[in-house]
Chains A and B, each alone.
Chain A
Amino acid sequence: MTASTTTTPAGSAIAPRRRRADDVAGLGTARAGIFVAPALIIIGLFLLFPAVWTIWLGMTDYRLTGLQAASPEFVGFENYIDALTDPSFWNSLGLTLVFVVASGIVGQTLIGFALAWSVRNIHGWVKALIEGLVLAAWVIPASVASFLWLVLMDRRSGTLNGLLGTDGYAWLIEHPMEAIILFNIWVGTAFSMQLFSSALSAVPPSQIESAKMVGASGWQQLRDVIIPNIKGHILTNTLLITLWTFNTFTPYLVTAGGPNGKTEILSVYIYETAIPGGQLGLGAAISLIMLLINLVIALAYIRVSRGRKKA
């Protein structure tokens, strides 16, 4: 994209470019092939093969145990039809949407930005402390974090019940979705905060000063100076958070998808179907559906970011 700033006349620029496309390192096709072969093999083995294997599995009635484990039969698109006509699949997809919007897009992004915004002018140990605390939540392994939350929300001796005096209230049973949304915000907000912190520090101070001089309020500065400057970061952050939240499995460690499937987001649904449920074929089919949804999100992002760059 930035190549067009060179001063070479348009006519002569074509020739070197073509040569470049042919053979940039002067290795020749065969030797170049040898050089990239290991990488291609690894990509093929660890990326392509599993993907193709998933597609194949998704078209069989493969199970973890029993006769179908020994000799799975080809069932074509039956798994896909089963999944798409199963109310529990749609229920799971609905739960996933709520989870992604509430904990990812709204929670992590907004709270991350709010944190970054509120500490931008603070320096010294206060800032270090706040950032440190938020980062700690991010650095702690998910298994440990989930255990902390289990202890917090435990029905009988949980910290939360102790603080609120609501002894015996089963938070994880009565409000399971709210619990995993808060959990995911707690776990993941640090990323947004860090990203926005660096974005905010890159906003030219001169622009903020100018805005202040013409009497812009804090909100106006944010709207007219800060946000236009960090739009790209917002977009990147939203995409990453959306994909991560969509694919995350850690809420399983808090609620195990329960009670009665109320927190069975898509990743948990696939796990429950494939591993404890033993239906590996069906699980593979749903995984592929999930992969396609990921692709749609990523494509939408690419479109939006292209449109933004053109403008």
Chain B
Amino acid sequence: MIHHSRRKTVAAIALAAAGALVFTGCSGEQSEDENGPVTLTITANAITGGKNAAEADWVTDWVIPQFEDAMKEEGKDVTVEFEPQGVDDENYKTKIALDLQSGEGSDIIGMDGIWVGEFAEAGYIKPLSDVGGDAVDGWEGWDQIPEAVQNAVSFDGDRYGVPQGADGRVLYYNKDLFKQAGLPEDWQPESWDDVIEAGKALKKLDGVTPIQLNAGTAMGEATTMQGMLPALVGTGEQVYEDGKWVGDTDGMRDVLDLYKTIYVDEKLGDAVLQQEAAGRDTSFQMFAANQIGILLEGDYFWRSVVNPEEGVGTAPMANRDEVVGYTKIPAMKPGSGVDDQDFVSMSGGTGRVLNPNSDHPELAWELLAFMNSKEAYEARNEGTISITPRTDVNDEILSEDPMLTYVSEEVLPITAYRPPLAAYPQVSTAMQQASLDVVSGTSVDDALATYVDSLKDIVGDDAVSGD
């Protein structure tokens, strides 16, 4: 008996000791030593050999050694570490939100521009100049970045991060399949009906899903940006207009009807694919395997998915340049788009922010500015070209890639942006659910009613349009 209780005591002491170790571990923050070695960390949803591989490679192979060398010349001992992630955007967002909430996280964090509002409201991120100091406003790069692009990572009139680039959405189509279906290889649909007609022709081909229009919650924001919103602006409406969020309007009804036509009535799309956990990646693989006829995606698809370059594309197509066609997204009918446009698009932007919890915020800003320098973008574009936020770089490099030139010249002038409001991500989720409901067989009326209910829960009854 005594033996037993002694053992318990020993165990309690051991536990206490372990606990004490844990605490000392927690409080063991690096001491702020100006001359001592400093470690900076960068995180992004990019990983070598996987998602956004080109960015990950650029950070590890170019940014880190170049910056470390530059610092060494200034007599500073700086080590930079890259913490790669290669997960769904939703999971990545959760991770960085939890990091920031607990006062942790990398010094430089890549994020989708649309998260900036809610992160700022939560106090997780702060205006750049509050974190990085006076050097921020004096940076030469701001003159090169158009205001519209800067806005992608701004909130309430403050810059929260440095934008990484601009993008635009187009319809991709497979020219081989179009040829087989007797459709023109040089294709420009003028209306939704044109797209549906092409889909019907493609349906005759064996083993081909004619149209893939993202739907459902499993795809997250991809559904909103590559499905609901491009369709909605094609009806002439915007998700947020005059202080109200789009509710039960003609435009929303038309959008959900479009989903119903594609997935339920005409069976031109694969409704099951929309519900699969890895549906979006699967749709990429299928497009690359010539199994999807028409796909609405951003220029990211061209740069990072079907890119034939080794280690860059996640679903590389060796004959991309010959087979993959791209064309502007038509409005519902000619002239029915926002601002009476015939063609529409949506743009988003990503950027990098400074972590306010950083131990070395000014040095972190130096690194961030370095990552957005002209040389850095030039190095970044050696592997794969993307539309950069800097006009000086774009002027030089975009001509090398016809697709990105097309986006920059034809798409960006007609594009629309998501509202930079904190409520947007929740509204987006409600829209995804509405598309999922329709695709999985619910009537448009019921799906719309559910959507309006959840919308009112999110933004309040007065901020919903259309009743």
Spell out A's residues near B (CB within 8 Å).
Answer: 24-25, 35-36, 38-39, 41-42, 45, 63-67, 69-70, 155-156, 170, 172-173, 255-256, 258-260, 275-278
In the assembled complex, B146 has its CB within 8 A of some CB on chain A:
no
Contact between A173 and B122, CB atoms less than 8 A apart: no
Contact between A65 and B15, CB atoms less than 8 A apart: no
In the assembled complex, B248 has its CB within 8 A of some CB on chain A:
no
Contact between A41 and B19, CB atoms less than 8 A apart: yes
Contact between A276 and B422, CB atoms less than 8 A apart: no
Contact between A260 and B121, CB atoms less than 8 A apart: no
Pick the contact of A70: B123, B276, B277, B440 (CB < 8 A): B123
Contact between A38 and B16, CB atoms less than 8 A apart: yes
In the assembled complex, B13 has its CB within 8 A of some CB on chain A:
yes
Contact between A65 and B122, CB atoms less than 8 A apart: yes
In the assembled complex, B436 has its CB within 8 A of some CB on chain A:
yes
With A67-B122, A258-B218: A38-B12 Cβ-Cβ less than 8 Å? yes
Pick the contact of A39: B16, B422, B440 (CB < 8 A): B16
Contact between B123 and A69, CB atoms less than 8 A apart: yes
Pick the contact of A256: B16, B117, B124, B277 (CB < 8 A): B277
Q: Hey, which chain A residues are within 8 Å of B272, CB to CB? A: 155, 170, 173
Pick the contact of A260: B9, B91, B429, B440 (CB < 8 A): B440
Contact between B122 and A35, CB atoms less than 8 A apart: no
With A64-B94, A70-B123: A39-B12 Cβ-Cβ less than 8 Å? yes
- Compute how far the CA of A277 lies from the CA of B458 in the bound complex, rounded to whole angstroms: 12
> Which residues 66-107 of B sit at the A interface, judged by CB distance below 8 A?
90-91, 94, 97-98, 101
Pick the contact of B19: A42, A69, A276, A277 (CB < 8 A): A42
Most buried by B among A36, A38, A41, A45: A38
With A64-B94, A69-B101: A38-B13 Cβ-Cβ less than 8 Å? yes
| A-B residue pairs in contact (CB < 8 Å), sample of 11 | A25-B2, A38-B13, A42-B15, A64-B98, A65-B118, A66-B118, A170-B272, A170-B276, A260-B440, A275-B94, A276-B91
Contact between A172 and B276, CB atoms less than 8 A apart: yes
Contact between A70 and B9, CB atoms less than 8 A apart: no
- Compute how far the CA of A173 lies from the CA of B277 in the bound complex, rounded to whole angstroms: 10
Contact between A36 and B12, CB atoms less than 8 A apart: yes
- Compute how far the CA of A259 lies from the CA of B215 in the bound complex, rounded to whole angstroms: 12
Contact between A69 and B121, CB atoms less than 8 A apart: yes
Q: Hey, which chain A residues are within 8 Å of B97, CB to CB? A: 64-65, 278
Most buried by B among A25, A35, A42, A259: A259
Q: Hey, which chain A residues are within 8 Å of B122, CB to CB? A: 63-67, 69-70
Nearest-Cβ distance from residue B207 to partner chain A, whole angstroms: 10
Contact between B16 and A66, CB atoms less than 8 A apart: no
Q: Hey, which chain B residues are within 8 Å of A155, CB to CB? A: 272, 276
- Compute how far the CA of A45 lies from the CA of B98 in the bound complex, rounded to whole angstroms: 21
Spell out B's residues near A (CB within 8 Å).
Answer: 2, 5, 9, 12-13, 15-16, 19, 90-91, 94, 97-98, 101, 115, 117-119, 121-124, 216-218, 272, 275-277, 282, 422-423, 425-426, 429, 436, 440
Q: Hey, which chain A residues are within 8 Å of B118, CB to CB? A: 65-66, 69
Contact between B101 and A64, CB atoms less than 8 A apart: yes
Pick the contact of B15: A25, A39, A66, A156 (CB < 8 A): A39
Q: Hey, which chain A residues are within 8 Å of B440, CB to CB? A: 259-260
Contact between B119 and A260, CB atoms less than 8 A apart: no
Nearest-Cβ distance from residue B263 to partner chain A, whole angstroms: 14
Contact between A276 and B13, CB atoms less than 8 A apart: no
Nearest-Cβ distance from residue A65 to partner chain B, whole angstroms: 4
Q: Hey, which chain A residues are within 8 Å of B2, CB to CB? A: 25
With A25-B5, A65-B97: A258-B275 Cβ-Cβ less than 8 Å? yes
- Compute how far the CA of A260 lies from the CA of B423 in the bound complex, rounded to whole angstroms: 23
Q: Hey, which chain A residues are within 8 Å of B425, CB to CB? A: 65, 278
Pick the contact of A255: B9, B13, B101, B277 (CB < 8 A): B277
Nearest-Cβ distance from residue B60 to partner chain A, whole angstroms: 26
Nearest residue in A to B437 (C-beta to C-beta)? A260
Nearest-Cβ distance from residue A214 to partner chain B, whole angstroms: 45
- Compute how far the CA of A36 lies from the CA of B13 in the bound complex, rounded to whole angstroms: 9
Q: Hey, which chain B residues are within 8 Å of A42, CB to CB? A: 15-16, 19
Nearest-Cβ distance from residue A22 to partner chain B, whole angstroms: 15
Contact between A41 and B94, CB atoms less than 8 A apart: no
Nearest-Cβ distance from residue A254 to partner chain B, whole angstroms: 9
- Compute how far the CA of A60 lies from the CA of B194 in the bound complex, rounded to whole angstroms: 51
Contact between B276 and A38, CB atoms less than 8 A apart: no
- Compute how far the CA of A61 lies from the CA of B161 in the bound complex, rounded to whole angstroms: 28
Q: Hey, which chain A residues are within 8 Å of B115, CB to CB? A: 65
Q: Hey, which chain A residues are within 8 Å of B426, CB to CB? A: 278
Contact between A260 and B16, CB atoms less than 8 A apart: no
Nearest-Cβ distance from residue B437 to partner chain A, whole angstroms: 8
- Compute how far the CA of A25 lies from the CA of B276 in the bound complex, rounded to whole angstroms: 62
With A155-B272, A259-B218: A276-B277 Cβ-Cβ less than 8 Å? no
Contact between A65 and B12, CB atoms less than 8 A apart: no
- Compute how far the CA of A25 lies from the CA of B5 in the bound complex, rounded to whole angstroms: 9
- Compute how far the CA of A64 lies from the CA of B94 in the bound complex, rounded to whole angstroms: 8
Nearest residue in A to B9 (C-beta to C-beta)? A35
Q: Hey, which chain A residues are within 8 Å of B276, CB to CB? A: 155, 170, 172-173, 258-259
Contact between B94 and A276, CB atoms less than 8 A apart: yes
Q: Hey, which chain B residues are within 8 Å of A70, CB to CB? A: 121-123
Contact between A35 and B12, CB atoms less than 8 A apart: yes
- Compute how far the CA of A38 lies from the CA of B15 in the bound complex, rounded to whole angstroms: 8
Q: Hey, which chain B residues are within 8 Å of A66, CB to CB? A: 117-118, 121-122, 422-423
Q: Hey, which chain B residues are within 8 Å of A65, CB to CB? A: 97, 115, 118-119, 121-122, 124, 422, 425
Q: Hey, which chain B residues are within 8 Å of A67, CB to CB? A: 121-122, 422
Nearest-Cβ distance from residue B423 to partner chain A, whole angstroms: 8
Pick the contact of B124: A39, A69, A170, A259 (CB < 8 A): A69
Most buried by B among A24, A69, A70: A69
- Compute how far the CA of A35 lies from the CA of B429 in the bound complex, rounded to whole angstroms: 53
Contact between A260 and B15, CB atoms less than 8 A apart: no
Q: Hey, which chain A residues are within 8 Å of B12, CB to CB? A: 35-36, 38-39
Nearest residue in B to A156 (C-beta to C-beta)? B282
Contact between B13 and A173, CB atoms less than 8 A apart: no
